[in-house]
Amino acid sequence: MRRRSLLLTGIAWGIARTALAAPVPVLHRDFVLVLDAGHGGSNHGCSSDHFKVEEKHVTLQLAKAVAAQVRRKVPGIRVMLTRTRDEDVPLSERIAVANEVRADLFVSVHANASPKRDQSGYETFVLDLESSKREVARTARRAQRDRNTPLSTDGDAELMLRELQLRANFKKATRVASAIQQSMRRAFPSRQDRGVRQGAFDVLRGLDMPGVLTEVGFLDHAGEGPWLVEPETIESIATSICDGVMLFYKEHAHLG
């Protein structure tokens, strides 16, 4: 139900846009950005005892700020959020929504915490390419076993295509991740740039488009935590994420 309502919202939005844009012919489909506010509902994410702030609220605020900035700066981008309030949304549903709307880019926003509460800085993850390739091969073998069919040329070709797609998406995601990190570096020169990293995050697994997961700072750090939740900080970080999106849009939106 939840998924359906999200999709319907997107479709309704698309119709409204088209109607408003008439009579200019629409020569290309909209570039679709899916923004994923990490956690939500019973999944609180990390938090800070000192400041009583939960990650799920920070990510929602941030995702909304990014959405507002992207809509303001690039009217050609259609933005969808995987959640717009404090509620449970399973990871599989977030991925399915992005795939069903044929999103061009998926950006998941998170805040961090460390065991000794001594870490700080920002980092952006892309899906680990080798482990995803292994998973694609495993899934293909399982599907073949389930169908009880011998290895076929078709199956091999499909597997190769999927691997090519994974590799292309990995390269694009890395480009977006680097742009976000670079913009953050410019905006916050005194903060620690933890770089672009690879990880096996479930929310990036199974996406048909490039996806990144950005950890914008450590909520449990005595200095960074309280600063991170300031409205001005949220806006500045949103600008950096928006910069990454805009760079990707400029490079990959094929305008008619």
Positions in the binding site for Zn ion (CB under 5 A): 38, 45, 110
In angstroms, the CA 118 to CA 233 distance is 20
Task: Calculate ∠ Cα 100-106-109, nearest 5°.
Answer: 130
Distance of closest approach, residue 217 Cβ to Zn ion, in angstroms: 12
Question: Reduced to 3 states, what is the DSSP secondary structure of residue 198?
Answer: strand
Distance of closest approach, residue 126 Cβ to Zn ion, in angstroms: 16
Which CB atom, from 40 or from 45, has the smaller least distance to Zn ion? 45
Distance of closest approach, residue 14 Cβ to Zn ion, in angstroms: 30
Distance of closest approach, residue 113 Cβ to Zn ion, in angstroms: 9
Which CB atom, from 45 or from 217, has the smaller least distance to Zn ion? 45
Which residue has the closest beta carbon to Zn ion?
Answer: 110
Give the E-state strand segments of the chain in sequence order: 31-37, 47-48, 53-54, 77-81, 105-112, 122-127, 193-199, 211-218
Which CB atom, from 28 or from 44, has the smaller least distance to Zn ion? 44
Which CB atom, from 202 or from 251, has the smaller least distance to Zn ion? 202
Task: Calculate ∠ Cα 183-189-193, nearest 5°.
Answer: 70
Q: Which of 29, 128, 103, 77 is nearest to 247 (CA)?
A: 77
